[in-house]
Amino acid sequence: MKASNLLILVLLTICFVFPLNYISLTAASADDRGVFDSQVNIVKDQWDPNDDTLAGAIPLPSISRTPQTHGPHTLGAVYTNGTKDTYDWVKVLLEGSNPPTKCYKFDTIGSTSGPSTYAGIWDSSGNLIWEPYPGDKPGDYGMGNCFRISFAPLYTGWYYLRIRTYVNAGQEKTYSLNYKELTWGDNLGSFNGVTVYSNGETTCGSFRYIPTGMMWQCVEYVNRYYLLKYAKDLGSGNARTYWTNRDAKGLIGYPNGLSTTPPAVGDIIVFDDPSGQYGHVAIVRSVDLAPGSMSIRICQQNCFNDARDVD
């Protein structure tokens, strides 16, 4: 670190191609909820009408890190007694703890025709305990007419998903449910004794918090690194705000392309986000200033979500 300035940020306002543009979110397309033409004479699926209630929830096969799909399911069929197939219930046995160590993903991505699908997670007593957060709902950030749930359970047991059409329940829809355990929480290695954990996927928002932030986002690692190495609390905020709020955080900024001061080990690299959403932050782990090979290496969370985030 520089003797005069212990904590330094460098701003990179560059639009990368993958793998570094994972911080860029495509703007949502126009919301088409409720303006589609219904499918004609949809028929009930093999699980109807038993799966119309929590008590009749269909058990999913054991969940693992291998992606699985259940379906196709249908919604909106009218039974001979005149009642309608409004909800589909499935149940799954999940492993949990407090704080959580596992995270699971459920979505209907790929079921693109017709109305939007939506789901929540319920407990065995019929209480709604989890719903998709902003960014995972139909119409959000390019989700189209699908939903996505990232769920890190706090206890081991049976959990129930109630799936319906979005906004207006009971519309006609054919869909398949995708599900898997994420690599969330895996130890990927460490830098200067500070462990890097996998977030599973860059789109995963666990909304489970520890004192340094949401597990296991990029800002959580930077916060934890500065707390452990420099006893400095950086507070909170989206990654891109670490540049705009640098003064309030007690940091000194060196803008990319304008400063002649090179970054040093332990500095924070701030990646801007052209969409104006989240951005990305990482810790400088090495600097090579040799002519012809000038480069830096960084340590980060929630980029590749494998060993490359450490190396």
| 8-26+184-309 matches 50-181 in fold | no
Instruction: Give the span between the Cα atoms of 256 and 260, in whole angstroms.
Output: 9
State pLDDT tens for residues 64-121.
Answer: 999 999 999 999 999 989 899 999 999 999 999 999 999 999 999 988 788 999 999 9
Per-residue pLDDT at 75: 95
Domain extents in the chain:
8-26+184-309, 50-181
pTM score: 0.84
- The structure tokens listed for 63 are 């969940």
- Class of the CATH domain delimited by 50-181: mainly beta
pLDDT in tens, 248-293: 999 999 998 888 899 999 999 999 887 778 899 999 999 999 998 8
- Say if residue 223's pLDDT is above 70: yes
Buried b (16+ CB within 10 A) or exposed e, 205-235: bbebeeebbbbbbbbbbbbbbbeeeeebebe
Please state, in angstroms and rounded to a whole number, the distance separating the CA atoms of residues 266 and 71: 49
Q: How many CA atoms lie within 13 A of 144 on its CB side?
A: 10
Q: How far is residue 70's CA from residue 188's CA, in Å, rounded to a whole number?
A: 31
Length reported for the chain? 311
CATH (residue range 8-26+184-309): 3.90.1720.10
Least confident of 42-46, 47-51, 66-70, 216-220: 42-46
Stated as kind and residue range, the H or E segment containing 227 is helix 218-230
CB neighbours (10 Å) of residue 299?
23
